[in-house]
Amino acid sequence: MDRETALRIIAENLERIDRVEKVPLEEASGRVLASDAVAAFNVPPFDRCAMDGYGVKAQDTFGATGFNPKRLKVIGEQHAGEVFQGEIGDEECIQVATGSPLPRGADSVVMVEYTKLDGEYVEIQSPVYPNANTSPEGADIKTGDAVVKAGEVLSPAKVGALAALNIQSVEVYERPKVAIYSTGSEIRPLGVDLEPGQIYDVNSYTLSTVISRNGCIPVRKGIVVDDREAIESAVREASGYDLGVFSGGSSVGTRDLFAETVEGLGEVLFHGLQVKPGKPTLFGLVEGTAIFGMPGYPTSCLSNAYVFLAPALRKLAGAPPSEPRTVTARMGKRVVSSSGREQFLTVAVEDGVAYPVFKKSGDITSMANADGYIILPVNLDVVEEGEEVTVILL
Give residues 204-233 in contact with its own copies (rule: CB under 8 A).
Answer: 204-206, 208-210, 212-213, 220, 226
| Residue 304 in the binding site for its own copies (CB under 8 A) | no
Amino acid identity of 139?
A
> How far apart (Å, rounded) are the C-alpha atoms in residues 193 and 202?
15
Identify the sign of the CA torsion 365, 277, 216, 266.
negative
> Which of residues 167 and 319 has its CB atom nearest to its own copies in the complex?
167
Q: Which stretch binds its own copies (CB under 8 A): 2-10, 94-102, 116-124, 236-244?
A: 94-102
100 near its own copies, judged by CB under 8 A: yes
Verify binding: residue 343, its own copies, rule CB under 8 A.
no
User: What are the CB-based long-range contacts (under 8 Å, 24+) for 280-283?
Assistant: 280/255, 281/6, 281/308, 282/258, 283/6, 283/9, 283/10, 283/13, 283/308
Which stretch, 92-100, 269-277, 285-293, 382-390, contacts its own copies (CB under 8 A)?
A: 92-100
Residues 7-26 that bind its own copies (CB under 8 A): 25-26
Residue 311 binds its own copies, judged by CB under 8 A: no
Site string for its own copies, 259-298 (x = CB under 8 A): -------------------------------------x-x
Secondary structure letter of residue 329 according to DSSP: E
Spatial distance between the Cα atoms of 62 and 86, rounded to a whole number of angstroms: 24
Using the rule CB under 8 A, which residue among 61, 115, 125, 250 binds its own copies?
250
According to the binding rule CB under 8 A, does residue 184 interact with its own copies? yes
Amino acid sitting at position 232? E
Q: Rounded to whole angstroms, how far apart are CA atoms 381 and 368?
A: 26
Is 122 among the residues that bind its own copies (CB under 8 A)? Answer: no
Taking the complex as a whole, the smallest distance from the CB of residue 226 to its own copies amounts, in Å, to 7
Choose the binding region for its own copies from 98-106, 236-244, 262-270, 378-386 (rule: CB under 8 A).
Answer: 98-106
Answer yes or no whether residue 382 interacts with its own copies by CB under 8 A.
Answer: no
Residue from 4, 67, 119, 190 in contact with its own copies (CB under 8 A): 190
Alpha carbon 310 to its chain's center: 12
Could you give the angle at which helices 3-12 and 310-317 cross, rounded to 10 degrees?
Answer: 20
Question: With CB under 8 A, what is the number of residues at the site for its own copies?
Answer: 92
Tell me whether residue 147 or residue 335 sits nearer to its own copies (CB atom). Answer: 147
Burial state string for 354-369 with b = 16 or more CB within 10 A and e = fewer than 16: bbbbbeebeebebbee
Q: Does 42 bind its own copies (CB under 8 A)?
A: no
Give the binding range for its own copies (CB under 8 A) out of 38-46, 65-73, 117-125, 281-289: 38-46
Q: Is 344 exposed, middle or buried (0-12, 13-18, 19+ CB in 10 A)?
A: buried
Distance of CA 49 to the CA centre of its chain: 36
Residues 143-162: x/- map of binding to its own copies (CB under 8 A)? ----xx------xxxxxxxx
Instruction: Report if residue 339 touches its own copies, rule: CB under 8 A.
Output: no
Choosing from 1, 20, 265, 364, the residue that interacts with its own copies (CB under 8 A) is: 364
Q: Out of 165, 257, 309, 376, which residue is the one contacting its own copies (CB under 8 A)?
A: 165
Please give the Cα distance from 18 to 36 (Å, whole number).
Answer: 15
Amino acid (one-letter) located at 123: E
Q: Beta partners for 188? A: 200
The per-residue DSSP string of 232-294 comes to HHHHHHHTTSSEEEEEE--SHHHHHHHHHHHHHHSEEEEE--SEES-TT-EEEEETTEEEEEE
Binding of residue 31 to its own copies (CB under 8 A): no
Cα 278 to its chain centre, rounded Å, is 26
Q: Of 101, 127, 318, 356, which lies in the binding site for its own copies, with binding defined by CB under 8 A?
A: 101
- Shortest Cβ 222–its own copies spacing (Å): 13
Task: Name residues contacting its own copies, limited to 57-86 (CB under 8 A).
Answer: 79-83
Quick one: 269 or 301, whose CB is closer to its own copies?
A: 301
Task: From 60-68, 178-186, 260-268, 284-292, give the range in contact with its own copies by CB under 8 A.
Answer: 178-186
44: CB partners within 8 A, 6+ apart: 135, 137, 138, 139, 140
**Residues paired with residue 282 on neighbouring β-strands, in sequence order:** 271, 293
Min. distance of Cβ 335 from its own copies in angstroms? Answer: 20
Whether the Cβ atoms of residue 371 and residue 359 lie closer than 8 Å to each other? no
**Least Å distance between CB 171 and its own copies?**
17
